[in-house]
Each structure stands twice: as structure tokens, then as C-alpha cells.
Amino acid sequence: MTSMLFPIRALRILRTLAFVAVMPVSFSPLFAQASPERPTRQNVVVIEPEHFSLLGPWSSRRGGFIQTSGRRGVAFGGFEVPKDGVWHVWTLTRDFAENSPGSRHFRIKINDTSATTLSGTHRREGWYWERVLTLPLSAGQHILEIEDLGKTYARLDAVLLTTTGLDPNTPALGKGAAAFRRRHAAKLFTEPTRIYAGARVPEAAVAPPDVSPYAPPAAVLKNPDTVLSFRVVRAADGSPRIHREASLPSVASAIPLGVEPLLVLHSAKKPRMDNSGFYPTWESATPAQWRLGDRVFSPPADFRDPYASGILRRLHPVAAHQITPDRVVVTYRETSLPADLPGGLGGLSRPLEAALTWTLPPRGHAARLDVSFRAPQAAWYSLAFGAGRILTADEIHAVQLPPLFQFRRVVDTPLMVMSSQTPHPLALVETRLPGTQTSITTGVISPPDTLLPAQSSGRPDWFRNDNSAYGFTLTTSDGNVQPVIFTPLMGFADSFVPDGGALNRSWWTITSPGPWADAMREADLSLFGLRDYREPWKHSLTDQALNIIELMRDDEASGWDERLKGPLNIESPDMVTHASPLTLFSAARLTRDEDFFRRRALPALEFLLTRPSFHFSLKAHGSHYLGKDDAALNFERRPYSSVVWQGLDDQLGAGLNPWLSSGYAFPGDRPRNVRRHPKRAAEWSDLLALHRHSPSEALLAEIRAAADAWIVERFAPDQTQHPGVGPFYNAGEFYPFWWDLLDLYELTGEPRYRDAATRGAEFTVAGLWVAPSIPAPGEQTTLYPGNKSGGTHHTWYLPDGTVGRRGWPKTSRLVFGGWQTHTFSIPQKDIPAWVVSPVGLGLEQPSSYVRAGGSGGSYSNILLSTWAADLLRLHGATGDDYWRTFARNTLIGRGASYPGYYLADHIDLMHDPDYVRGGPDLTSFYWHHIPVHLGMVLDYLFTDIEVRTGSAVRFPWSKQQGYVWFSLRTYGGAPGRVLDDADCWPWLNRDAFRVGTHKVDFLGARSHEKFHLILLNQAQGGVTAPIQIDVSAVGLASRRARLTTANGASTITLDADGRAAVELPKDAWAVLTFDAKPADFWPKVSPLPDKTGPLRHALGQPCGDMMAFRTRTPFGKDSLYIALSGKPDDGTRVELLLEGDSSASRIVEKYPYELGVYPWPVEKTASFRLKITTPDGKKTMTDPFSLPGGSAR
């Protein structure tokens, strides 16, 4: 993930100074010694800038500070000082001593006086106060401006002004401030008000149109779904204007859409555009006027404001002409020149004109607009069109401009989302008809070809920061709300038009009944041509899963650290992260691989039992993920909630380890208390886990009540606070964390949970790409032109401890988080264009989407689409193919093994199973994502089987959840049903049985006397599936099988080599059922005795406490694990003396002090002592300990 780029952990020196706004501060008498004058409410004020409403490119961050987005710009607000005096100004900033110290700098300005010292340059690790300015201030209101200069994610917590000699770095400061906050919290500043003028101000309201029969419209467009009427109204001076209205069959009255102007921006010089961050910016010489109290001041216009990217002109619709029944031409004219229009503009000094041709298709609610504008002078131009009435924020019910704007999150400052940045190139505003609950959605939509053609090929390139054909905003030029589309974008090559040249552009506008999601769906299906277009490419999902498991067996290739017990994290040195530990157990169970269980699952169990965080390292220093207490074994803190512990109990064999459920999953028969992210999985998710463990009607009633309240709160429309560009899109901050709602729906059958899940899924698919156009069948594309590929990419920590990327040249100059540039020789090839299409992929977070692809300007989708199975389940619950289309497009045919994470180009390297082993890494190999990716593929495979067969084939599951947005069902811990066989264990194996085409997924299942082979056709057409079964390995009693499909049952017989062929139409499934020799798929094992719980014993310092665990495993053997919480000096020797253990000595001589034993006989008591020898030779023998066993049945 990208904490390297956007760190969020902040150890704040002065966290208690997070006041409501600007407040005087009273300090403890402890501070009297720090200054001759004791700080009082009259001589100290603290400004909390995160409460300014005008933050510009800065954003308010969780924890009470502001951070820039890497873009130059100014935040400002007003504050008051209580008296005249000379004020010393301090800023509380964060720096990173070992990561480009002093580079995250900015400058503050008070009134017209700039700070003499830059802020953010203290070069210390963490937060620190810097004295940056001294100036005289009179009592009353003043203006604070905060300008980012470094463009490297500066952070500001607070600004302190004092007339005393106070040093706010005094350690005891926080106590006095906290006491004052409790007693005297106050808000003392006023918000600035923007002053608009010229073309930024809409024309005064015109009289409503005459809708009587005696005043027919000037033109009408109609189809069975929509009637658009263009009526003549009069401006204040009596001149004509065209007013548009829509009539919809399901809405009783016409919907007024108003007089919709066309805005023209022009610049004689090429605009200086900066698109290195998420929002494009333009350096503008035009100041913006603001009023703050009795002051008017004119700072530079917000660089992100697209209306300030040139000289703004406003053209009004003055005439409408019916050309054909389905086409209307509206004439636009500038009826008066702006008063502030500068001189020397030549042809641009005259009023501008344009024509918009409206076309209404035979069906639907969207109309196409084709604009024709002839440039009166060579210049750079951009056109902007807002659809529907201009609204205030109070008039809207919801908006949608993905991925950033949902619910009622609109901003006063116009911010542009470029068409290369948005998954759905549209902007939608949903309102309610007055006095009703009837929703109407109005919006603007680009054509499917949202990218400018690449100069070399003439075809659209990958999403980049310089190839957007369109831009969108939800904010009008005067700070109100309206969906607005811009094209071309000022500063791009296509925005230059020669003298007399034509600027022709097209877009769509929509007015539809229902919420925004209905309008988005119509655009997806009718305008963007969304369809299920993918199929496996070279490898099936089954093969991909088995290839990932094979990769995970290789320590070096998969980044596994044996000592730290987990997969390494490329964003921190020598640190492992368990993002999906249950997947390791699932892989061992599904493959019946005991060695994998020993080498991967058991270390994960030991990690969960003793690590206080998802992450672990031997040192916390230098990591953005670890706190100072996280680099030590800990027997109390657990990162994962009861959901994972209940799943762990299932994967080990439900009930085999009573201590696991009673002490870890559900202590006191309730979910365990863990620190959870407030926006992610709800607490009732843990109650669902408890219900899976011990179902009861009372518990289900509690879950229902909690879920009902959660739905009301999390889906409430009145959500106005914008998360910014930093949070993960799918992790609960942009929209509700809805994945558990389908679990509850399956449990209860109550439609309200399915319906709420559908609402959540609407936000999910809003974050999945539907453009540019899906390639046509048979269309080819060229990869690696000139036999070259590569570019400039971030450098990561590699498993060998060096910095770089796997398969890239090693150089001594590389530093973590830096950039490496290289061009690789990769043979040019032509392949079907659909293989490398990004349609269906999503994003991690808006900020990493625009940064993780490298410094060359490419944007990055991600290949880790854990939402795929949830969308497929929603399809099963609703019968709606819309969800299945997104589920398939996001996952099918995306790799042969683990494909990496970030995708920033058209490449097919990930379709080689050995890509991760040798590289070159062009997709960022996140080792700790490999189990997550496997879990995602398996969840999709099992869900697809269940949904397609209508639950005729269904396997029990447990839940992996808690790490960012990763929410997966894991399988293999219990038998399920295959048709009429109710006790079938799922089985992954391609040696005992296989399918001879990559277009068909397969899964085995074994009961006591049956073997089933389940087949799914994933191709876009019918396919023949050659199958081969090793009769001996599977244990078949007969070669004759019952073949069951959706159309009924027949028989099929294997030949002498165990081969047969099955015909599968598109989307078909089949189950081959064979008689098998009676056998138990898993050993029958009795649970551990209740008394065999973890042992804890205090050993004293420096060894701390000892804990010893005995775990019963599904392989009919036990494991032992002993760990010490202390950190003895390296060289301390701890030896496990295990009675009856004939193996070699079990000794550990460096931290972490932990020992594991596997296998251990289930019936044998484990009696042991620890022999501890310190570096100076002192020996200590502990008392004997005992972990009783039990007998196998």
C-alpha cells in the first residue's frame, strides 16, 4: 500500500491542543518559570487550521492537522488577537529525520507580512514547534495564509501566537492546555466570504416560461422515455433566452432545467498547467477577492480553480431551431462583454458565438450535445457546460463524481476531476421534487473515448496526467452546485485552436427519474457499452490459485521471512505483515498439504498469538506502521477481531481447540474488544462471527438491531465532510463498509439487508473503470513497441534487504521511496486488445492512483479486487447481471499467478506464472498481498460455483477481515454439499485431476464414498472441457460418472487413461459424480481437553513472561509453541527440554525468543522445562510445565 508516500502515523507533541477553532490558551503555573510574563488568555492564542473552511490544496487529516496534497497553493482563514502588541508566531510541524528532512516546508503570512523563516524545516523526527515570525498586531481580526512551497506533503498541526517568551516545546505544555480546553473552549474567528464578479456571476434570474397551450416550445425532442422542451423566456432586458425542461413518464410535472449557459475560457499564452497531483492546477494572474469581517483582500486565485485557468466568458442560449424530429440546434451568444475584459484581445474583443446541436436517441434519458465554436483568434480554449439548474448545497440530495464526491460532499472551491482520473467519466446531482421523496438526477457525461490519442499510435494510451479529453466539477463558477463538464482542458495540446479554426466537441447530458445510481447504470450500459467481456487468458482461476500456492511455498520468491513469521512488507525494512492469515490455513486445507501447513499456517498462528499489530519487526524505528511498543512480543494486544479468531477455529477444525474460542475468539462468550477503525467493519460483524460459532435467536435479534442502526447512520445522505484524496477508496471512508450485509441477508433472508448491500455496491462499482471503450471482439493491440518497456518507478525494500525492484538492475545509489528508471528489452507482440483493457479495475486511494504509477505521469489501477466475490454474491441475491459484469471484469483473466499490485500500462507479463520470481517488476510486488490475492481468487471461485448452481453446490466459509478493505470468505475448514451429497470436503489438486483447457475452472470434492469434479465455463462462448482423473490418486471405485448440469443429468465414462470430454455452453456448469472407495478425507480427531489451555508463567526480567500453547491440528497431530515476552540480550540462550522428545536440541539464542514443535502426538502430554543461560554464563532452570493431550478417535 502507500504509507511510504502518504504516512498517516503521527506522534504528536501537542495533541491536546486540538481546540474547536482559534482559542486563547491558559497554561499551568508550571510555565511561569519559562517566561517573565505568565501566559494568559490575553497573551497566547492557538490557531487550529484544520477548522479553516478554505484549505486550498491542504486537507484536514485524522488526528487534527492539515497536510498538503503535493500541490502548491494557499490555505487561509481569519483569527483575532485580544490586544495590541508584538506577537511571536510559532508553527507546529512534522518532519522526518531520515526521509528527506527539511523538504516538507511551507511559509505562513499574516496580513501582508510573510514569515522570515520557513516552517517544516526543523529536521527532527516527529512534531516540533518552530518560531517563524515576529510582528506587531493590533487587537482584532487578522488574516493567516499558509502557502505550501515544497510540494512534498507538508504537515501543520497548529499555529501559536504569544507576546511572551513562552517556548511551546516545553514538555509540560500539554497538561495546561488540556485543562484550559476543558474549561474555556471558544471559537473566535470568522469565515471569509468569496466576492464574485464578471462572468463568474450567473445572469439574473429570468421569468419562468409560459407553458400554456398558446405558447408552444420553440423546439421539442422526444422518445418514449424523455421529452425535452426548449422554450423562449425573456432576460431582464427583454432579450430572448432558451429555457430547457424535461418531462418523464414517471414524473407528474415537467422538470425545469433552466437557462444553461456555455462558458468559454481562453488564453493568449499557453496556460501553465500542473497535473502532478490529483487536481490539475493552473497558475493564474487573476486575483480572487475575499471579505473577512471588515477587510477585503485579494490573494491569488486558487490554482485548482478551472474557471480561473483563462479569461472567462459567458454565452447565453438565445435561439432554438428544430432541424429534424430528433435534432435541435441552440444558438449561443455573448450578449454583453465582461466589464473586466482586458484590452488587446483582437478578435476576442468581440462577442463570442457557438452552436450546440442536441440529439435524443430512440430510447433513454440521455441527450447528446455537439458543440461548434469557431475561434476568432489563435489562442488556447476550453468550453464548459453545466446541466440543469444551479443549486445551493441545501437543495441537493446526493452527488456522484467518482472517486471523490458522494453523498452531499460538495466543496465551495471548484475542483476538477479529469477524465483520466475518474472510473466513470460523469458528474451527477440528485435532487428531490419539492415536497416529495421523488428523486431526479441530472448530469453531464463524456463519450466513452475519454483519453486523447497517443501521438505515436493514434490510439488512446494508458490513463495519464496529460491525456484527458474532458474534466468534471460539481461546483459552479460562483461556488454553487451543478454538474459541469469541461473540454478541452486548458494547457493540453488539443486546447490550442488557430485563428478561424473550429473547436468541435461532444458530450451527453442526462435527466432521469430515480437516484444517481440509476443514471450511472444507464450511462454505463447505453453510452459506455459496458458488457461482460473477459475470459481466462492462458490460465484458469483454478490454475492461478494453485500457482500462487506454489509461489508461496518458495521463501525467496514470495518474500517470506521465517524468523519474523510472515511475508515481508516492501514499504518498511525487515518488517512482515499479515493481511490475510486465514488464507494460509485455507490453502493448506484445500490442498491437504501438511508441509505448507507447517511452514506457513502454523507460523501465522504463532504470529497472531503473540504480535500486537498486523505488522512486526525487530525494531520500530524507521517504520511508518509500527509504534514504539509494536516491535515486541505481546500476550494481551491483538490486531484482529473475533471474526478472524472464529475463522481460525474453523480452519483448525471447529471445536478442536476449546481454548481458542473461549480465550481468544469470544472471551466471556462475547466478541473480544479490539481497537478498530471507526469507518470499517462494524461491531455487529463480530456478532455475526459469534452467531456462526454459537447461533441463537436472541443473538440474531441483537445483530439485526445493531445492523439496522448502522445502516441508518452510514447511509445517511447528510454526509458533507470530504475525506480528501488520501484514504483508501474501498475501506469505509468514502462509502459504507457493506460487505457483511450480504452475510446477514443470507442468514435472515430479510430484503432490507440485500437492499442496503445493493446501495453499498453502487459506490463500489462507481470506483471501477468503465472507459475507455471496451475493445471489440477480434481487435488486436501492440505491446512493447520497439521491443521496449519500463519507465520510472518507485523503489521498494526487497527480500534480501536491498532497495530496488525485482528484476531491475542493482545500483548503489537507490534509496527507498526514490525513483529508478530503466528500459527493458521485451519482444514486441500483438495480442487481443481485451486482455490488457483496464475496464473493470479499481483504485487503491485517489492519491496513490496518481502517484504510484511512476514519475512518468501514468496513473495506477490495482489488481487486488477483493470486492469481486461480493459483487458476484449480490448478483446471486438479486439476479441482476449488472453486478456480475463488474465482478467478472475486475477479476477474470488478470494473471497466471500473483500479478503484482499497481498496474500503470498495457502489459501482459503477469500472464507468465514465473513473472514474480524473476520480474522485471512493473506492477509492484507486495509480498504481504500474495495471500490476499490467493484468498480473493478462491473466494470468487467458490462463490461462482455456489451462485451458478443456485446453491446446489455450497461450502461453509469463515471470514478474513480487518486489514484495510480486505474482506474475504475463506474455505476448506468444513465439508459442504455437492448436489445430494452433504458431507463433501473441497479439494484443490491438478495432479489427481485436471481440466485440459484454461477456459474452464475446476474444483474437486470428496466425501466418504463419492468424488465430485465441479466445472465452470468462464469463456465468452461454448467450450469443450477435456478432463483427466488419476483413478488411483482420487480413489475411484468406478470410471462411470453421473454428469449433472443445469439441464439435467446423464452419464459419462472415463477411458482407460482416465480421460473424458464435457461440452459446456457459455456460462454453464457441470458436476461429475463418481463412486469412490470408502475413505476419510481428514483424520478423525478428538478435541483437546478443556483444561489444555495456554500456560502463562512469570520468568522475571529480562525474560518477561512465558506463554505455552498446544494446538490440535486437522492433520491429526498437535503443535507446541512457547514464547517469551521479554527481550534478553542477544546471546542469551533459551533451550526447550521436552520430555520424551528425541529430536535435536531446540534452542534459540536471539530475539524473538520463541520455539515451536510440530508434530507432537495428540495423545501424549507435553511436559517441558526451559533452560536459560545468560551471556555471562549464568544458568536458570524453570519449574516443569505440562500441556495435557487427548486421544484420537
**Residues 24, 142 within the same domain:** yes
**Residues 851, 910 within the same domain:** yes
What's the confidence (pLDDT) of residue 454?
67
| Residue 226 to residues 250, 441, 444, Cα–Cα distance (Å) | 10, 13, 16
Q: Which of 167, 191, 215 is the last residue of a domain?
A: 191
Give the residue from 651, 564, 478 showing the smallest Cα distance to 1154.
564
pLDDT at 4 over 50: no
Dist CA 942 CA 954 (whole Å): 8
Report yes or no: 923 and 607 within 8 Å, Cβ to Cβ: no
- Buried/exposed code over 274-293 (b: 16+ C-beta within 10 A; e: otherwise): bbbbbbbbbebebebebebb
What's the confidence (pLDDT) of residue 190?
63
Per-position DSSP letters for 343-399, written without gaps between them: S--GGGGSPPEEEEEEE--SSSSEEEEEEEEE-SSSEEEEEEEE-S--B-GGGEEEE
Maximum mean pLDDT: which of 95-99, 851-855, 1040-1044: 1040-1044
**Residues 497, 634 within the same domain:** no
> Has residue 336 been placed in a domain?
yes
Report yes or no: 1051 and 1014 within 8 Å, Cβ to Cβ: no
pLDDT at 285 over 90: no
Counting residues of the chain whose pLDDT is more than 70, the rounded percentage is 93
What average pLDDT does this structure show over 760-779?
97
> Has residue 128 been placed in a domain?
yes
What average pLDDT does this structure show over 1064-1069?
98
Beta-strand ranges (E) seen in 401-452 are: 417-418, 426-432, 439-445
- Which DSSP symbol is given to 647? H
Q: pLDDT digits over 245-271, tens only? A: 999 999 989 999 999 999 999 999 999
pLDDT at 955 over 60: yes
Dist CA 990 CA 1001 (whole Å): 11
| Contacts of 1178 by beta carbon, 8 Å cutoff, 6+ apart | none
| Contacts of 737 by beta carbon, 8 Å cutoff, 6+ apart | 679, 680, 681, 682, 714, 731, 760, 965, 967
pLDDT at 174 over 50: no
Give the residue from 282, 369, 383, 291 showing the smallest Cα distance to 330.
369
Q: pLDDT digits over 56-109, tens only? A: 778 777 667 888 876 667 888 888 889 999 999 999 999 988 788 988 999 999
What's the confidence (pLDDT) of residue 295?
76
Report yes or no: 798 and 808 within 8 Å, Cβ to Cβ: no
What average pLDDT does this structure show over 580-608?
99
| Residue 1125 to residues 611, 634, 1147, 1186, Cα–Cα distance (Å) | 10, 6, 16, 19
Dist CA 432 CA 679 (whole Å): 28
| Contacts of 252 by beta carbon, 8 Å cutoff, 6+ apart | none
Specify the higher pLDDT residue, 326 or 1191.
326
| Contacts of 640 by beta carbon, 8 Å cutoff, 6+ apart | 581, 608, 614, 674, 962
Q: What is the CATH number of the domain that holds 173?
A: 2.60.120.260
Give the residue from 1128, 1142, 1143 showing the smallest Cα distance to 1174.
1128
- State the pLDDT confidence band at 648, using cuts at 50, 70 and 90: very high
pLDDT at 175 over 50: no
Three-class DSSP category at 211 = coil
Q: pLDDT digits over 5-23, tens only? A: 333 333 332 333 333 333 4
> What is the domain count for the chain?
5
Q: Which of 955, 970, 985 is the last residue of a domain?
A: 970
Report yes or no: 478 and 391 within 8 Å, Cβ to Cβ: no
Domain boundaries, position 1050: 976-1076
- State the pLDDT confidence band at 604, using cuts at 50, 70 and 90: very high
Q: Which of 1049, 1076, 1103 is the last residue of a domain?
A: 1076
Least confident stretch, 26-30, 517-521, 891-895: 26-30
Give the residue from 938, 925, 862, 870 showing the smallest Cα distance to 898.
925
**Residues 453, 554 within the same domain:** no
Dist CA 518 CA 430 (whole Å): 10
**Residues 966, 991 within the same domain:** no
Q: Are strands 1104-1112 and 1118-1124 parallel, antiparallel or unpaired?
A: antiparallel
How distant is the alpha carbon of residue 627 from its chain centre?
24
> Has residue 956 been placed in a domain?
yes
Dist CA 376 CA 313 (whole Å): 14
Q: pLDDT digits over 1092-1116, tens only? A: 999 999 999 899 999 999 999 999 9
What average pLDDT does this structure show over 42-46?
87
Q: pLDDT digits over 1113-1131, tens only? A: 999 999 999 999 999 988 8
Tell me the CB-side half-sphere exposure of residue 952, using CA atoms within 13 A.
14
Dist CA 559 CA 546 (whole Å): 18
- Which DSSP symbol is given to 665? I
pLDDT at 26 over 70: no
Residue with the three cell numbers 463419492: 1010
Dist CA 947 CA 968 (whole Å): 16
What's the confidence (pLDDT) of residue 41?
77
**Residues 503, 596 within the same domain:** no
What's the confidence (pLDDT) of residue 915?
98
pLDDT at 184 over 50: no
What average pLDDT does this structure show over 122-135?
93
> Has residue 532 been placed in a domain?
no
> Has residue 753 been placed in a domain?
yes
Report yes or no: 1026 and 1000 within 8 Å, Cβ to Cβ: no
What's the confidence (pLDDT) of residue 287?
79
Per-position DSSP letters for 666-703, written without gaps between them: SGGGS-------TTSS-HHHHHHHHHHHS--HHHHHHH
**Residues 909, 1000 within the same domain:** no
pLDDT at 459 over 70: no
H-helix or E-strand containing 589? Answer: helix 581-591
Output phi, psi for 113, to 5 deg: -105, 120
What's the confidence (pLDDT) of residue 58?
82
pLDDT at 208 over 90: no
What's the confidence (pLDDT) of residue 171?
65
- As a whole number of Å, the end-to-end CA separation of the chain is 46
**Residues 332, 437 within the same domain:** yes
Output phi, psi for 233, to 5 deg: -125, 175
pLDDT at 183 over 50: no
What average pLDDT does this structure show over 861-867?
98
Q: pLDDT digits over 1073-1087, tens only? A: 999 999 999 999 999
**Residues 621, 720 within the same domain:** yes
What's the confidence (pLDDT) of residue 72?
67
> Has residue 533 been placed in a domain?
no
What average pLDDT does this structure show over 1168-1178?
94
Dist CA 503 CA 487 (whole Å): 10
Q: Are strands 44-47 and 106-110 parallel, antiparallel or unpaired?
A: unpaired
* Summary mean pLDDT of the chain: 91
Counting residues of the chain whose pLDDT is more than 90, the rounded percentage is 76
Dist CA 404 CA 918 (whole Å): 37
- Buried/exposed code over 851-875 (b: 16+ C-beta within 10 A; e: otherwise): bbbbeebbbbbbbbbbbbbbbbbbb
| Contacts of 789 by beta carbon, 8 Å cutoff, 6+ apart | 783, 823, 824, 826, 905, 907, 922
| Contacts of 77 by beta carbon, 8 Å cutoff, 6+ apart | 47, 49, 51, 52, 53, 54, 143, 144, 189, 191, 192
> Has residue 473 been placed in a domain?
yes
**Residues 868, 966 within the same domain:** yes
Q: What is the CATH number of the domain that holds 851?
A: 1.50.10
Give the residue from 924, 740, 731, 736 showing the smallest Cα distance to 844.
731
Dist CA 612 CA 630 (whole Å): 6
Q: pLDDT digits over 310-367, tens only? A: 999 999 999 999 999 999 999 999 999 998 898 889 999 999 999 999 999 999 999 9
Dist CA 348 CA 228 (whole Å): 33
- Which DSSP symbol is given to 525? I
Report yes or no: 1055 and 1063 within 8 Å, Cβ to Cβ: no
Output phi, psi for 939, to 5 deg: -60, -45
Output phi, psi for 620, to 5 deg: -85, -25
What average pLDDT does this structure show over 1057-1068?
98
What's the confidence (pLDDT) of residue 210?
83
> Has residue 7 been placed in a domain?
no
**Residues 482, 578 within the same domain:** no
Q: What is the pTM of this model?
A: 0.91
**Residues 108, 205 within the same domain:** no
Tell me the CB-side half-sphere exposure of residue 489, using CA atoms within 13 A.
29
Give the residue from 55, 271, 44, 292 showing the smallest Cα distance to 168.
44
Report yes or no: 416 and 471 within 8 Å, Cβ to Cβ: yes
Task: Write the secondary structure of 61-123 as one string of H (helix), E (strand) and C (coil).
Answer: ECCCEEEECCCCEEEEEEEEECCCEEEEEEEEEEECCCCCCCCCCEEEEECCEECCCCECCCC
Q: What is the CATH number of the domain that holds 1058?
A: 2.60.40.1180
What's the confidence (pLDDT) of residue 846?
96
